[in-house]
Structure 1
Amino acid sequence: MADTPSVLIAGCGDVGGRLAERLLASAWTVYGLRRNVAALPAGVLPVAGDLEHSESPVAWPTGGLDYLVYSAAATRADEAGYRVAYVEGLRHVLGWLTQHGQTPKRLLFVSSSGVYGQQQGEWIDESSPAEAMSFSGQVMREAEQLALHSGIAASLVRLTGLYGPGREWLLTQVRQGYRVAVEPPLYANRIHVDDAAGLLAFLLQADARGVALQECYLGVDDAPAALAEVVAWLREYLGVTQWSAEATVRRAGSKRCSNARARALGWAPQYPSYREGYAAVLAGPRLC
């Protein structure tokens, strides 16, 4: 591998862009594939392309590629949309690599904790059964298997609920006085978007140093918490006193995800719980 590692981030959006900035700061060569390359961070080498189409992008990198990060986001929240974004899109990228005679050292596939179907507040780690009944979880599992059997050494990074600047759905709900069930507790898992990017960068840099990576990591902060606890804290922090008469925050699942495997490798989140993370979001400029 070259002294300056190279990486292609396929689906270089919010998380991918933050990852790119971290790797650029460490002198990596970073290619970013997305439809609108004008939105790429400065310093990222643009690859204009559409993961939904089979034609290889004209600006596909020449020469070797050390790493591939597949970080797509579905643009449609139905089964067909998920399949196009995660399964077919990954298949297209793998085909483009073959077409150009490239075999990266490792593929990081950005997945979701939605592959787990547990709903009774169970603690989850990478060895827990991933048997979601939802179409989204099942399609993501199919994409995971495609990554693991791609012929490239692959690691899955199952991110939990992303939040951060521009990802303020729960804050909006709290400001509107939405209620949430207290009993039984609905446990939720989250990771600040900067920590998600930080974990991906940490794994890539560890691999580049020769650290042996495992095939799956959970991206989550240190403190899964009952949603009612989070809402109560946010209400106090924001000074919200009213309750909406009808509106309720609804969740389907309830589980607690562990980041012990990533921590054992030496990673630690900058925002260990929702308190630090949301305080940082609320201290920044309002984006919604």
Structure 2
Amino acid sequence: MSAPSVVIAGCGDIGSRLATQLLALGWEVHGLRRDVSRLPEGVIGIAGDLFNEDCPDTWPVGGVDYLVYCATATDHDEAGYRAAYVQGLQHVIGWLSDYGQEPEHLLFVSSSSVYGQQNGEWVDETSETQASGYSGNVMLEAEQVALNSGIPASVVRLTGIYGPGRERLSTQVREGYRVAIDPPLYGNRIHADDAAGLLAFLLRHVQQGGALDNCYIGVDDAPAPLAEVVDWLREYLGVTEWAADASVRRAGSKRCSNARAKALGWVPRYPSYREGYAAILEG
């Protein structure tokens, strides 16, 4: 039996982590990005631009068993989001059609920004989507492109990704970052390796004959108030001074559940912010 093949469109940080995990399992991995020299060793590069409707010259001509779309917006405005998540996905689906390629499954990497709950509610895949900004609304539009593509598809709504190179919160804490305590401002996180691990797990589940729902939330086991996370980081880092600025209040407060993914057998390597941040800071 030949190795399963996957195209990772938008093979940046999370895509590269996914590629590395799949290569270790013997998969044939194609990664699409502008600068293919930055792909992990062993990934077959597709030098291309998701914003350009012309199919890249190096698009694979053989079968494509799986597609993972995990683009990142270049411009952080509504037009930039639509170009990256809606139009880019439409381009890739068109390229598959041009080559007569019919993947067994498409994973579209979305975001928990599609939820706008404000009061610490628990949220799962069946919860009402109440996006309050353009980012969440564009993501919902892109999700429908994936789900209506004619390819069996699932969307994976990742929460706040952190990891090496994504250490903004710990930097803020070192600077004396303050956050509102009451009412608690709940946040949701997933380590970058776990985000990639969830995608790999879902692909393997399909490859081994399993069925997937059309939506999964990617989050660790322990949504926590931001003030709790800040206090833990302050103690870990030995920060004793507060910034002079008043306490910061960020928008949004919800607790995302990973019960659906865990029911399939997925287990995060870093079940809470404690294990994840400790691994980063020790490193």
Fold match by TM threshold 0.5 = yes
The answer to whether the aligner puts 1:95 opposite 2:78 as a matched pair is: no
| Equivalent in the alignment of 1:170 | 169
Percent of pairs identical after alignment? 70
Cα displacement string for residues 87-135 of structure 1 (whole angstroms, at most 9, x for unaligned residues):
0000000011111111100000000000011111000000001121210
Letter in 1 for 2:68: V
| Equivalent in the alignment of 1:271 | 270
Q: Give the CA deviation at 1:250.
A: 4.1
Query: Hey, which bits of structure 1, 4+ residues long, moved more than 6 A?
Result: none
Report 1:53-132 matches (<5 A): 53-132=52-131
Asked whether the 8 Å contact 1:173–1:249 carries over to 2, the reply is: no
| Equivalent in the alignment of 2:197 | 198
Q: Give the CA deviation at 1:75.
A: 1.1
Letter in 2 for 1:99: D
Deviates more, 1:255-264 or 1:124-133: 124-133
Asked whether the 8 Å contact 1:107–1:154 carries over to 2, the reply is: yes
When normalised by structure 2's length, the TM-score is 0.99
| Equivalent in the alignment of 1:179 | 178
| Equivalent in the alignment of 1:38 | 37
Structure 2: which 5+ runs fail to align? none
Alpha-carbon distance in structure 1 between the residues aligned to 2:250 and 2:22: 35
Q: Supply the RMSD in Å over aligned alpha carbons.
A: 0.8
Report 1:242-261 matches (<5 A): 242-246=241-245, 248-261=247-260
Alpha-carbon distance in structure 1 between the residues aligned to 2:213 and 2:249: 34
> Residues 6 and 247 from structure 1, CA distance in 2 versus in 1: closer, same or farther, beyond 3 angstroms?
farther
Alpha-carbon distance in structure 1 between the residues aligned to 2:163 and 2:191: 6
Asked whether the 8 Å contact 1:87–1:146 carries over to 2, the reply is: yes
Letter in 1 for 2:250: R
Letter in 1 for 2:23: L
Find the residue that maps to 2:180 and give its secondary structure. coil
Q: Give the CA deviation at 1:249.
A: 4.2
| Equivalent in the alignment of 2:223 | 224
Alpha-carbon distance in structure 2 between the residues aligned to 1:117 and 1:180: 20
Letter in 2 for 1:136: S
Asked whether the 8 Å contact 1:82–1:136 carries over to 2, the reply is: yes
The answer to whether the aligner puts 1:239 opposite 2:238 as a matched pair is: yes
User: How many residue pairs get matched?
Assistant: 283
Q: Give the CA deviation at 1:178.
A: 1.1
Asked whether the 8 Å contact 1:115–1:137 carries over to 2, the reply is: yes
Q: Give the CA deviation at 1:3.
A: 3.3
Alpha-carbon distance in structure 1 between the residues aligned to 2:169 and 2:208: 38
Find the residue that maps to 1:98 and give its secondary structure. helix
| Equivalent in the alignment of 1:138 | 137
Q: Give the CA deviation at 1:248.
A: 4.7
Find the residue that maps to 1:241 and give its secondary structure. coil
Structure 1: which 5+ runs fail to align? none
Q: Give the CA deviation at 1:28.
A: 0.3
Find the residue that maps to 2:82 and give its secondary structure. helix
| Equivalent in the alignment of 2:50 | 51
Letter in 2 for 1:39: R
Asked whether the 8 Å contact 1:120–1:255 carries over to 2, the reply is: yes
Find the residue that maps to 2:139 and give its secondary structure. helix
Alpha-carbon distance in structure 2 between the residues aligned to 1:168 and 1:22: 22
Alpha-carbon distance in structure 2 between the residues aligned to 1:67 and 1:248: 46
Alpha-carbon distance in structure 2 between the residues aligned to 1:247 and 1:4: 56
Q: Give the CA deviation at 1:77.
A: 1.1
Cα displacement string for residues 152-178 of structure 1 (whole angstroms, at most 9, x for unaligned residues):
000000000000000001011100001
